[in-house]
């Protein structure tokens, strides 16, 4: 009996890939076309003038903000629920993205990260001390300068001071829209109405601390949700061997291999500058590491990297722009262009969509009082969501990049409608959902079920 049900579910799952629109990352000739520069993107500042807000800025992606927020007619629709998920803000590079020897000396002493426990039982409360991490540089540790190339006191990664400022502004802007403009958020924090969630990666908590304070300045402390590592749905960290296999198929494809082959000279030049071992596989299977390292420098106002022993051997702007076009190409290819990219997104991020579906449905039945669910996650989270929904045009989701789902109820018909925003604007897909702009909630739910099954049983079937 159970077996039959499971088989029927698999048979009804239909993960259909719809190609994205043709763009400057669809053709390798255009990816390697140096006159395309940054394709209109910003990679060297978190600041975008108001007149061009909404433009792609890798350092600080556009998010919902009062001045560009497309308002729904409130005499016809009532906002009932908002789900926000965004990437953390700008940070130091991951340790594996640092060059063997970096010429910058980096100090991260202007911000403190806290990590400590508290008894929650009244008898013991106050019996622990707040602890802050004082990044300690140990001159007698012979590995200190070998494992992360920077001299200084930063963790790799940690949210930078400027990244914390961007996080705070992000919170102000969200409150500006959902608190002030829409009068939707409660004026004071109430965990039955508002929840925040982070991943197991500490940088998302660092960001949340600034976002929450900007939204609820009177709160001294709040609890943020976090799932156990190993099956965290929003990181994502649940294991799905099938999804891993699809990812390897994508990166072994002819097109992927061709972009690496065409970048062979660039790789040689970059390895000379950085001192990265040309045999190091990690650095040469994608542009992820060079991208992260270079974007970190530019986003924080540092110059392009120079060789640690020869200060006149430096990365050029042309090389940096080529790295950025290649990074955008890789995201576009892995999450949208490749015909199995949708299958990849569905299997590697289906768990989040299953819970999202239930949150939305619980709202329609009145089973929950929750109004606002806010998640701080990663570029891989945002890319998978956009891949799952089949966005029309994808670039690497930069720092702070945000997807918002808004659930409305029609005041006349009592029906439920859904709207999705990305980069502060209506999200357009090439899939069956088209423009996700006040579509019947039912269509959204059916789409999720078509990808993962009625209750994620198709997902489980794929992964386990």
Ligand X SMILES: *[C@@H]1O[C@H](CO)[C@@H](O)[C@H](O)[C@H]1NC(C)=O
Phi and psi for 373 in degrees, rounded to 5? -120, 120
Quote the least distance from Cβ 145 to ligand X, whole Å.
5
34 alpha-carbon distance from chain centroid: 27
Note whether 340 binds ligand X by CB under 6 A: yes
The correct pick among 12, 74, 257, 310 for binding ligand X (CB under 6 A) is 310
Query: Considering the complex, what minimum distance in angstroms separates the CB of residue 453 from ligand X?
Result: 17
Only segment of 34-42, 110-118, 188-196, 385-393 that touches ligand X (CB under 6 A): 34-42
| Of residues 60, 17, 5, 39, the one with CA closest to residue 295 | 60
Both structure tokens of 330: 């890789």
Contact characters 111-150, ligand X, x per CB under 6 A: -------------x--x-----------------x-----
Give the per-residue contact string, 166-185, with ligand X (x = CB under 6 A; - = no): --------------------
Q: How far is the CB of 35 from ligand X (least distance, A)?
A: 4
CB-nearer residue toward ligand X: 324 or 372: 324
H or E segment at 418? Answer: strand 416-422
Sign of CA dihedral 13, 330, 348, 367: negative
Locate 238 and state its tokens. Answer: 């649940």
Q: How many residues sit close enough to ligand X to count as binding (CB under 6 A)? A: 19
Q: Which is nearer to ligand X, 24 or 437 (CB)?
A: 24
CB of 279 to ligand X, least distance (A): 21
Residues 246-271 as b or e (16 or more Cβ within 10 Å = b) = bbeebbebeebeebbeebeebbeebb
Among 105, 131, 261, 367, indicate the residue that binds ligand X (CB under 6 A).
Answer: 105
The answer to whether 182 and 188 have CB atoms below 8 angstroms apart is no
Nearer to ligand X, 5 or 313 (CB): 313
194-198/372-377 β-pairing = parallel
Angle at the Cα of 342 (from 399 to 464), degrees rounded to 5?
A: 100
Distances (CA, A) of 349 to 51, 314, 391, 456: 35, 39, 15, 11
CB of 38 to ligand X, least distance (A): 6
Q: In 10 A of CB 141, how many CB atoms?
A: 11
* CB of residue 151 to ligand X, shortest distance in Å: 4
Structure tokens belonging to residue 149: 């190339």
Residue 44 interacts with ligand X (CB under 6 A): yes or no = yes
From 37-45, 170-178, 353-361, 382-390, give the range in contact with ligand X by CB under 6 A.
37-45
CA angle 315, 400, 134 (to 5 degrees): 80
Between 43 and 238, name the residue whose CB sits nearer to ligand X: 43
Considering only residues 225 through 254, tell me which ones interact with ligand X, judged by CB under 6 A. 246, 249
Q: Which of 6, 36, 260, 364 binds ligand X (CB under 6 A)?
A: 36
Of positions 55, 96, 151, 155, contacts ligand X by CB under 6 A: 151
Give me the phi and psi of 99, to 5 degrees please: -70, 160
Exactly one of 313, 318, 367, 411 binds ligand X (CB under 6 A); that residue is 313
Strand partners, 421: 404, 426
Q: Which residues contact 457 (CB under 8 A, 6 or more apart)?
A: 6, 9, 10
* DSSP string across 34-60: GGGTTTT-B-S-S---GGGTTS-BTTS
**Closer residue to ligand X (CB): 39 or 364:** 39
Stretch that binds ligand X, among 49-57, 232-240, 307-315, 445-453 (CB under 6 A): 307-315
Query: Distance between CA atoms of 117 and 119, rounded to whole angstroms?
Result: 7
* Contact region with ligand X (CB under 6 A), list: 15-23, 27-35, 175-183, 356-364: 27-35
How far is the C-alpha of 331 from the C-alpha of 272, rounded, in Å? 26
Measured from the CB atom, is 54 or 410 closer to ligand X?
54
- Site for ligand X contains 430 (CB under 6 A): no
Of the listed pieces 29-37, 128-136, 219-227, 353-361, which binds ligand X according to CB under 6 A? Answer: 29-37
Footprint of ligand X (CB under 6 A): 29, 33, 35-36, 38, 44-45, 105, 124, 127, 145, 151, 246, 249, 310, 312-313, 339-340
């Amino acid at each position: 009996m159970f077996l039959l049900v499971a088989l029927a579910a698999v048979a009804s799952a239909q993960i259909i890939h719809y190609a994205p629109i043709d763009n400057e990352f669809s053709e390798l000739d255009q990816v390697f076309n140096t006159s395309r520069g940054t394709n209109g993107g910003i990679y060297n500042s978190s600041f975008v003038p108001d007149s061009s807000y909404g433009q792609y800025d890798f350092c600080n992606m556009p998010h919902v903000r009062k001045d560009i927020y497309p308002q729904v007619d409130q005499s016809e629709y009532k906002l009932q629920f908002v789900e926000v998920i965004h990437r953390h803000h700008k940070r130091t590079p991951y340790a594996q993205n640092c060059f063997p020897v970096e010429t910058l000396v980096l100090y991260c002493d202007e911000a403190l990260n806290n990590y400590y426990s508290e008894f929650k039982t009244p008898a013991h409360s106050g019996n622990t001390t707040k602890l802050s991490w004082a990044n300690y540089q140990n001159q007698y540790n012979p590995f200190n300068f070998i494992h992360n190339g920077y001299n200084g006191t930063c963790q790799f990664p940690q949210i930078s001071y400027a990244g914390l400022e961007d996080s705070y502004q992000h919170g102000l802007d969200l409150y500006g829209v959902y608190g002030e403009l829409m009068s939707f958020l409660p004026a004071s924090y109430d965990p039955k109405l508002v929840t925040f969630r982070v991943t197991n990666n500490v940088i998302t908590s660092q960001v949340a601390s600034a976002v929450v304070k900007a939204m609820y300045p009177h709160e001294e402390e709040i609890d943020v949700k976090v799932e156990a590592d190993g099956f965290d749905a929003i990181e994502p960290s649940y294991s799905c061997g099938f999804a891993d296999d699809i990812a390897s198929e994508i990166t072994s494809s002819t097109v992927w291999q061709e972009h690496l082959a065409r970048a062979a000279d660039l790789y040689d030049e970059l390895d000379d500058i950085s001192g990265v071992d040309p045999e190091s596989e990690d650095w040469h299977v994608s542009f992820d590491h060079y991208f992260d390292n270079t974007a970190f420098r530019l986003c924080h106002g540092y110059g392009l990297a120079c060789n640690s022993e020869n200060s006149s051997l430096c990365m050029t702007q042309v090389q940096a722009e080529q790295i950025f076009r290649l990074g955008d190409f890789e995201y576009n290819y892995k999450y949208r262009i490749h015909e199995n990219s949708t299958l990849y997104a569905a299997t590697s991020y289906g768990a989040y969509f299953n819970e999202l579906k239930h949150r939305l449905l619980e709202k329609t039945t009145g089973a929950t009082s929750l109004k606002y669910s806010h998640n701080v996650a990663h570029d891989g989270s945002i890319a998978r969501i956009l891949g799952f929904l089949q966005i029309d045009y994808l670039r690497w989701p930069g720092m702070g990049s945000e997807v918002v789902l808004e659930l409305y109820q029609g005041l006349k018909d009592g029906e439920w409608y859904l709207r999705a925003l990305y980069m502060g604007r209506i999200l357009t897909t090439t899939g069956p959902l088209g423009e996700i702009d006040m579509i019947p909630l039912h269509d959204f739910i059916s789409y999720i079920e078509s990808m993962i099954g009625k209750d994620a049983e198709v997902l489980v079937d794929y992964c386990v």
